[in-house]
Chain A
């Protein structure tokens, strides 16, 4: 599937591909991703941790059967780590063995001497790889947690995101034949610059509704009994009403669903008990302050919510 084919992709086609990849997406997500693909613009996904932002990038890659190039951002990430590095060892050896010259590409080196500033000596890091990737379908470039990177790095990304090209001083400008599909994710630990946001389509993912989450759990944890899965989602739904420091995301729900499925081998369809919830809370609650807030009363309420799960699904 080429970049041109993306442009004529229809919304329903995209939805089918999400379905096949077992990714439950609401209309807003489908429309926004569809726009990002058709318009060929980067997609900035924001939302609380564990709401499936990174997963969206992965699913896009698998849905279009293409390479996923992931760049995990962190504080202190530099252009060298993200873009390219010269293979200094190889360059040094080449120069010593008189196989190459340090003169630049346009330098005055003899014809038989090759410059060491050449593709051969270039170590491609994720961003450059995304630009130079070959293959029919453009790769998916997932720039994960861009808010963790420094602002300088963010500024550096701008050239890449607007023109899909980077300049390497010794080498020239590398531009992508097929612009990659770019997905940026952010947890909003800091605000992103307007310049970056301006270049992206914006998607804010929220915690899914009870029904959507049930759907997700059913797909991702098929080993768990359907009724129990509903109870699991109801409990998480109830927990999200509490003002916790760290709200449980979908990732936590899935963890917990797997844990519950793992623990109950024999009586697979028995309803959730307060004891069971309490023992496995570690999958959902990740802050000690939040854990302290869970008392017998809240556990009781959680169980009540679980008991009503079946009715909610039918309603």
Chain B
């Protein structure tokens, strides 16, 4: 199509420019056009990655080269070129097909904006020329903002309606932001039947220390015997080595038989995560998923349930997700963000998954306790859980605040039955919980009120 035989970034440059000039009299801003195409291409690749497609970095480079060959005029040619370069599995085509219309729309509307407007979509004319797709991470920070007056893309609504573009370089904010700070939550009204939505985020990458904190928490909760054994006065097995040593003092006759029992080093866990709108707005939801995933990996056996107005068993999604449960949840079309009916969730758990909880299981509930369901149902549910489970631990995102008191209806109903109530907004809070459990045991004096970090802020300690 073009005489250029050198498929390098230079080639991409030329192809893009040629396409942009096509059929127009005035001289468009080549650099802007080229930059726009590269940005959109990266966004598209990021979107595909977000949707679970394995797109190697080099593939984006190759896609840019391919675009320089086929030009940007024909939609089907562009689609074919990108399919050939970005995909490598038949299963990835669905993600491509759903993301492509948006990409195409952005691309075309941006190019027309560049062609008609000499200033280009952003006032970035004075910055240094980008040398190729490999450097294109940097312009990503600026949104080209081309969609203001353009018509919306024709996305078929089988995927999530609003396409959230995450650029790989974007930092994720792992903080326990309060709802008031997030802004978007202002408009939300928490209700028993709030609007549910699909899982539209991806799993956060936790840092090493956060992972360690979760692992430590898991270890602290251990209820199931592992392989390691320790000395005990009433164990189930004779400790041969010590018995032999002791027999030396009695002339080889084993009189004393020291015994040993296995240490509790494994965790069997039933994780109940409240994914109602109020919780999702309080904690970073991607961190929440990452926490659940790490817990799933770290414990020997974990059943994971998400609940808002309904209870969903997502253990399978976590098993299959391979470190990215968000993608698996998205694929399973799990919805979240509805109202909070904790009691109903416990009743459903009891009815449908009674074997998820037994006396060796630690039930970990992540919820803010802002229950809007029937208090009696909640009381029934929590007493059943407390009776049946080995231990019942509640992680409350609101309890990280020094001013927290379990006075909401749901919390005040539940607190008497809990072994421990901890604050949990970020994995670091779990390290504190683990520290307390390690020192005083799960049935000892542990809980948010003994959190050392909060003592300075608030001198008082609550009562559990």
**Interface residues of A, Cβ cutoff 8 Å to B:** 4, 7-8, 10-11, 27-28, 31-32, 34-36, 38-41, 44, 46, 188, 191-192, 194, 197-198, 200-204
Contacts and interface: CB of A to CB of B under 8 A. Distances in A.
B134 interface: no
A203 B66 CA distance: 14
A200 B62 CA distance: 10
Given A7-B5, A11-B1, A41 B88 contact: no
A31 B7 CA distance: 16
A27 B88 contact: no
* B58, B59, B83 interface centre (most CB from chain A within 10 Å): B83
Interface residues of B, number: 27
24 contacts: A7-B4, A8-B2, A8-B3, A27-B76, A28-B76, A31-B76, A31-B77, A31-B80, A32-B84, A34-B69, A35-B69, A35-B85, A38-B7, A39-B62, A39-B69, A40-B7, A46-B90, A188-B90, A192-B88, A198-B56, A201-B84, A202-B84, A202-B85, A204-B90
A31 B81 contact: yes
B265 to A, nearest CB: 37
Contacts of A7: 4-5, 7
B315 interface: no
* B7, B65, B84 interface centre (most CB from chain A within 10 Å): B84
Nearest to B55: A198
A39 B5 contact: no
A31 B70 contact: yes
B90 A39 contact: no
Contacts of A34: 69-70
B54 interface: yes
B55 to A, nearest CB: 10
Nearest to A46: B90
A36 B7 CA distance: 11
Contact of A4 (B5, B59, B87): B5
Interface in B56-95: 56, 58-59, 62, 65-66, 69-70, 76-77, 80-81, 83-85, 87-90, 93
Contacts of B81: 31-32, 35
A11 B77 CA distance: 10
B1 A10 contact: yes
Contacts of A192: 88
Contacts of A44: 88
Contacts of B76: 27-28, 31
A147 B386 CA distance: 54
Given A40-B7, A201-B85, A204-B90, 4 more contacts: A7-B5, A28-B76, A39-B66, A202-B88
A194 B65 contact: no
Contacts of A4: 5
A35 B88 contact: no
Closest 7 A/B residue pairs (Cβ): A7-B5, A31-B80, A197-B88, A201-B84, A32-B84, A28-B80, A198-B56
Nearest to A195: B56
A16 to B, nearest CB: 15
Contacts of A11: 1, 70, 77
Contacts of A200: 88
Contact of A8 (B5, B56, B83, B89): B5
Given A198-B56, A202-B88, A204-B90, A35 B1 contact: no
A191 B89 CA distance: 9
A38 B66 CA distance: 9
A295 B261 CA distance: 66
A194 B54 CA distance: 9
B78 to A, nearest CB: 9
Contact of B69 (A28, A38, A191, A204): A38
A203 B80 CA distance: 9
B15 to A, nearest CB: 11
Given A8-B3, A46-B90, A204-B93, A198 B69 contact: no
B5 A35 contact: no
Contacts of A198: 56, 58-59, 88
B142 to A, nearest CB: 29
B3 A39 contact: no
A9 to B, nearest CB: 9
Contacts of B89: 191
B74 to A, nearest CB: 9
A31 B76 CA distance: 9
A261 B90 CA distance: 35
Contacts of B66: 35, 39, 201
Contacts of B85: 35, 201-202
Nearest to A38: B69
Nearest to B93: A204
B62 A41 contact: yes
Contacts of A40: 7
Contacts of B4: 7
A34 B66 CA distance: 10
Nearest to A10: B1
Contacts of A46: 90
Contacts of A191: 89
A191 B85 CA distance: 18
Contacts of B7: 7, 38-40
A20 B409 CA distance: 79
B84 A203 contact: yes
A182 to B, nearest CB: 14
B72 to A, nearest CB: 13
Nearest to B67: A35
Given A35-B66, A35-B69, A39-B69, A27 B80 contact: yes
A35 B70 contact: yes
Contacts of A28: 76, 80, 83
B302 to A, nearest CB: 28
Contacts of A8: 2-3, 5
A192 B89 CA distance: 10
